Amino acid sequence: MSSLFPRWMNTLPTALGLVGAGATAAAIGGVWYYFTPSYWEVGYMPTQPGNGFNHQIHAGKLGMDCLYCHTNVESSSHSNVPPVATCYGCHAENRMTTPTAEKVGFIREAYANDEPIPWREIHILPDYVQFPHLAHVNAGVSCYSCHGQIAGMPVVHQVENLAMGWCLDCHRNPEENLVPRDKVTDLVWVQNEWMNQPVEQRKYHGMTAETLAQSLVQDPPQHCAACHY
Ligand code: HEC
Ligand code: HEC
Ligand code: HEC
Ligand code: HEC
Ligand code: HEC
């Protein structure tokens, strides 16, 4: 979605008008913006450059931790995708005999030219929404709750609609989505050992869903200004 109203408070009536009218497209300042209901974005899976990146192999089979590449998730509002140097560390010419040059040539080429690999963004929130990754990850919300079973995805796609109602559903009842802090990036464990249990039966080293919720520093916010500047 485009940044329609950065100073959204000022233009709220317009925004509601447009959304209410169910307008599919509108010309604003000569530029066309395209409005799509969020649920249409579930499943969004753009074609990635080169041979792409396979989470099922790296995070699943090889068991690499998410933080090895997404170094910012617990320290910054915005997450990040890794620079080509991270890939090159393993896929340089002289490091491994597999995969073939045909498969990882795009990494070596980008590295040699000192150019980033132009990964296409999948999860995108409008500019008028503030979403701090670090607060969620540090509170014990697993990547699994918002991004699905990434460790099983050959190609990442969007599994949640990222709509306002989705944020609020969890904010009203975080207990169901909290996991022990040291398990946040262990998506297979989260899915198979924690989320598959009824909330009241979840237990790990004396921690329960209830004690995790009680230990939150603050309740997840529901007032407008928490998420809208
Ligand atoms: C070896 C590096 C590496 C590891 C390990 C890794 N990722 Fe990624 N991740 C990437 C790259 C590169 C992209 C961008 C290409 C793509 O979307 O497939 C990406 C994309 C993503 C995206 C989509 C970002 C967007 O554009 O919206 C999510 C979500 C994600 N990773 C989550 C995870 C999770 C969760 C884990 C741990 C289970 C993980 N990643 C492990 C490298 C990695
Ligand atoms: C810690 C080492 C390591 C890092 C870092 C790493 N890879 Fe890999 N990668 C591997 C291994 C191991 C394989 C599987 C080799 C095999 O079985 O042939 C692999 C396989 C691949 C393949 C071939 C997969 C296929 O379809 O057969 C591609 C493409 C690839 N990696 C891209 C990347 C990219 C892009 C990055 C950076 C975002 C990256 N790798 C980071 C170790 C790594
Ligand atoms: C509470 C929900 C939530 C949790 C938990 C969460 N994410 Fe995200 N993630 C999002 C949303 C929403 C976006 C889109 C953010 C935006 O557009 O500002 C996103 C974006 C991303 C991106 C894209 C960054 C980019 O620059 O393209 C990556 C990578 C990512 N998340 C990885 C992770 C990893 C790894 C974890 C677990 C350690 C995680 N996320 C936990 C909701 C979440
Ligand atoms: C799966 C559960 C879950 C989802 C989904 C979720 N949140 Fe949260 N959010 C939390 C929890 C738990 C906290 C409390 C963190 C803490 O202890 O401060 C929180 C806190 C926040 C905060 C306050 C952070 C701070 O530093 O005070 C903001 C802002 C926020 N969320 C925005 C969003 C937005 C925007 C979305 C949707 C795009 C979203 N959240 C989706 C669980 C969730
Ligand atoms: C927990 C975070 C959160 C809170 C709290 C929140 N919003 Fe939102 N809001 C969002 C997200 C995320 C979107 C973007 C939805 C999308 O892209 O579909 C959004 C979108 C909107 C929109 C754009 C129209 C639409 O539905 O897409 C309006 C208007 C809006 N919010 C008003 C409000 C008002 C008024 C409040 C207080 C009563 C509020 N929001 C509280 C997260 C939040």
142 touches 135 (CB < 8 A):
no
pLDDT for residue 135: 95
Crossing angle of the two packed helices 84-91 and 101-112, in degrees rounded to 10? 130
Q: Is the CB of 195 under 6 A from ligand 5?
A: no
What is the distance between the alpha carbons of residues 176 and 190, in angstroms, rounded to a whole number? 12
- Domains of the chain by residue range: 1-35, 73-79+125-229
How is residue 55 written in tokens? 């989470």
pTM of the model: 0.90
- Report the separation in Å between the CA atom of 185 and the middle of ligand 3, taken as the mean of its atom positions: 12
Q: Which ligand is nearest to the CA of 84?
A: 2
- Report the separation in Å between the CA atom of 134 and the middle of ligand 3, taken as the mean of its atom positions: 9
What is the distance between the alpha carbons of residues 125 and 123, in angstroms, rounded to a whole number? 7
pLDDT for residue 19: 42
38 pLDDT tier (thresholds 50, 70, 90): low
What is the distance between the alpha carbons of residues 165 and 70, in angstroms, rounded to a whole number? 27
- Report the separation in Å between the CA atom of 143 and the middle of ligand 2, taken as the mean of its atom positions: 21
**56 vs 98, higher pLDDT:** 56
Q: Which ligand is nearest to the CA of 41?
A: 5
- Of 211, 217, 215, 180, nearest in space to 195 by CA: 180
